[in-house]
Amino acid sequence: MNLETAPLFRRDLFQTMGAAAGALLLNETVSAENTPGTQVADKTSSIRVTALRTFWVASIVYIKLETNHGISGWGEIKGVDPRVAQPLVKSLFELLEGENPTRIEYLWQKIFRAERYARGGAFMVHTLAAIDMALWDITGKLWQVPVYRLLGGPTRNKIRVYHTPKAVKVPPHGIYEAAGNPADIERMVKAIKTAREKVGPDGAVMFDAHCAVPPATLIQLAAAISAYDVLFIEEPAVPGNIEVFKRLKEQIRIPFATGERDRTIFEMIQYLQNGCIDILQPDCCHTGGISQMRKIATLAEAYHVPLAPHCTATFLGIAASLHAAASIPLFLIHEFYPGNVGKHLPAFTSMAHEYDKDGYIGLPPGPGLGVEVDEPGLLAESQKPQTYKWPGAKLKDGSIADY
């Protein structure tokens, strides 16, 4: 071989070999059975969603997702008309049947983006929240761990909750006109003062304006309660009107909290970008489930805003929210009503809810959500006559009010 042409020979050889290898690799990659997009399912499991059961009880629709491996997951739909939510979740099941339930984010996106005109609406997102809970419940049970272990593990050893002897939230005690009078202010101030005396100087007092106290009245009230060190004012204004939040923030020094009526990261981000709230209060049942609560927490962390989750759910919704709270870094306090009369059925058991002297509870148990369901008992409840009446509020003059 001519030494002068040897490098060219080697180069041509390597190029030929590389082209052949590349063609082989390309053929391997693009073949249907080896396309990465077809390999995203969990290879360690053949688990598939096979059935859906629904149970309408009072204002809530409970759902049960069943699988071919006998593992089931539970969730609850609340905050919307159950007469609509029940058929909606049955319709959405066609997007779940036959899918691997451990592909939680994929299935969340599949449902959320399925109908462009329903995306982000209350009925869609509240129903999706229940499905999300059930998928996490199944996945935790599959791996025999509490859901918070699947979320990166616990970031705390216990969870601060209210209401307890050390943490009390005061309601607005009424729905007020466009501006308050001295009697209105005095009634709210007295309730806040009483709460401070109950919890002591090391306890927490929160005031829930509930969107029922007009901006002018809230400004007057804030000036009158500064001595009681309120942890936050909840829902100082109707969600969505950022300019009102900004105007109130300019005049009130007490921290603001909101979020129970805002859904997904897309509605939360406006508060953070405009710097008009100090605490975010997503409701796991309203905002799209555990998956969205985790994303909201990460979004809020970038602005150093902690979460104080809103939660008026029954045991399934409470458990889902607590699992999310157990796993996030920036957290303040969790709403908690384990004895909420009329909302907690004996069909749900095995959720720890005893708080200590400082107002903390232990981490939620597992596997999954850690809530055991007496299905025959729940079925019996659902077979009783169920009714639903749209809520609402009016002012003294008969006009419609926010509440």
Q: Locate the domains of the chain by residue range.
A: 49-147, 150-369
* pLDDT for position 403: 86
**Residues 6 or more apart whose Cβ sits within 8 Å of residue 242:** 270, 271, 274, 276
Q: Cβ-count burial of 35 within 10 angstroms (0-12 exposed, 13-18 middle, 19+ buried)?
A: exposed
- The CATH homologous superfamily for domain 150-369 is Enolase-like C-terminal domain (3.20.20.120)
CB 162 within 8 A of CB 359: yes
Print pLDDT tens along the chain (403 aa).
444 444 444 445 445 444 444 444 444 444 555 655 555 555 457 899 999 999 999 999 999 999 999 999 999 999 999 999 999 999 999 999 999 999 999 999 999 999 999 999 999 999 999 999 999 999 999 999 999 999 999 999 999 999 999 999 999 998 888 888 899 999 999 999 999 999 999 999 999 999 999 999 999 999 999 999 999 999 999 998 899 999 999 999 999 999 999 999 999 999 999 999 999 999 999 999 999 999 999 999 999 999 999 999 988 999 999 999 999 999 999 999 876 644 566 666 656 668 899 999 999 988 999 998 999 999 999 999 999 999 999 998 999 998 8
* HSE-CB of 221 using CA atoms within 13 angstroms: 31
> Domain 49-147 class?
alpha beta
* pLDDT for position 87: 98
**Residues 6 or more apart whose Cβ sits within 8 Å of residue 353:** 336, 338, 361
